[in-house]
Structure 1
Amino acid sequence: MSKNYLNSPGLSQANQKVVLSAWARSLQLEESALHRANDDATTVRRFEIAAEKDVADWDPNTATFIQLFNISILFAPTWFLDAARDIDDEALGLESTMLELGYAADARSLGEETIFYAEDIPFYDDARLNVTSQSRDARRLESACPPDDTAAMPLDSLDHFFTISAFTQNTEPIAGAGYDVFSSTVGQLAVLVAAEHRTKGYGTFMLARAAEECMFDGLIPQWVTPVGNEVGEKMAHDVGFLLSGFRISVTFA
């Protein structure tokens, strides 16, 4: 699929506006400007935000290019914005292009990612599972996973999280999930499955359950997974998430 013009027919226009508003607030952009650009092909489609601007939760030592529905956003230092201005979105969305633009600043890739959203999910029965929201259970689960899985974002550091285990005495947690609230209206999901229980469907179950919790709280679930991660993409497809965008980031020395 082309990374340009990712307007998803399955995600309602109303929810596209909610998602775009969340990104706009995060980057201190005018919400209506993103809405108009998403709806009207004759308006500006790429929005530039200088990293020198004080934007909370955005690292000024990075360049991030996001393609979302029918618009794109580039957050980067001014010198990077200037260098990228005449490059079309299809080329700029490539890791090689971002690294080339940042070569003089010793750019290092933070990876390419796919962005999914959902507004309807299938029902999964968890009647045979014990569900808890205790930090001690989250830490027990993390100890049963490779360190790289939890180094960046421990499960119990999320705004909302829970784990599951079997209904037997002293059973170790099987899997966990949760979400951080992004810009008031979007829930950024995370899923963790104990190493010995992987490939058994627990990841898909937890993604669906976390998405359901998001919706109960009035949030739109967001699932971000590395480009080419077949497991993460299959989980998204099985739960009913819709491919809505791409993100590529580089950091500078």
Structure 2
Amino acid sequence: MRVIGLLGGMSWESTQGYYRALNEGVKAALGGFHSAKIVIISVDFAEIEALQQQGDWQAAGDLLASAAQNVECAGAECLLIATNTMHKVAPAIEQAITIPLLHIADATAEQLKLDGITRVGLLGTRFTMEQDFYTSRLEEHFGIEVVVPGPVEREVIHRVIFDELCQGRVEEASRQRYLKIIDSLYAQGAQAVILGCTEIAMLVSQRDTVVPLYDTTALHAQKAVAWSLAE
């Protein structure tokens, strides 16, 4: 079993979901008392969030690149960035380490392709929905068309992530608003919807809707477990 490196804390609410999913995945595969071999560096999200708001992605990339180097030095053999949004600075992180980075968009797109999905809706932070670091990867590398909500809906999604989910709050009114947005994307021809922020699965799950949902945390962890256990 190879050691999985996890760059977490963005937010810690979703990082604990990663820890659970990685360990459950290894246990399901190997049984008994088996659990995942994991190295975790958890950053202070307040520092990252401030840089996001300032648009200082260079500084954010430098901070996370340094943290990623610490993960590698601690013995990790691959790296997961436990957040969708900060994959914006994935290139800077990759340049700072020698171990492979398992990209969250790739893990998601690979499953979409297996399932025959060619047009997908995307929920996430404003940065993930409006900038092209995520959508272009799905479109250019995998041929999957991405549909995003309108500006009012994007603001609602972003606000709920930062003001509620990252604070550990799960509100029923917000769940209902998200479900209406998911239905709207489906009506626009999306065959499925990506939960493209690692906290969103705290709020909505497949039991809440008939629209197929793709939980990026679960898919990212699944890819990492397969990588860790590969011969």
Task: Give the structure-1-normalised TM-score.
Answer: 0.25
Higher Cα radius of gyration = 1
Q: Which has the higher helix share?
A: 2
Structure holding more strand per residue: 1
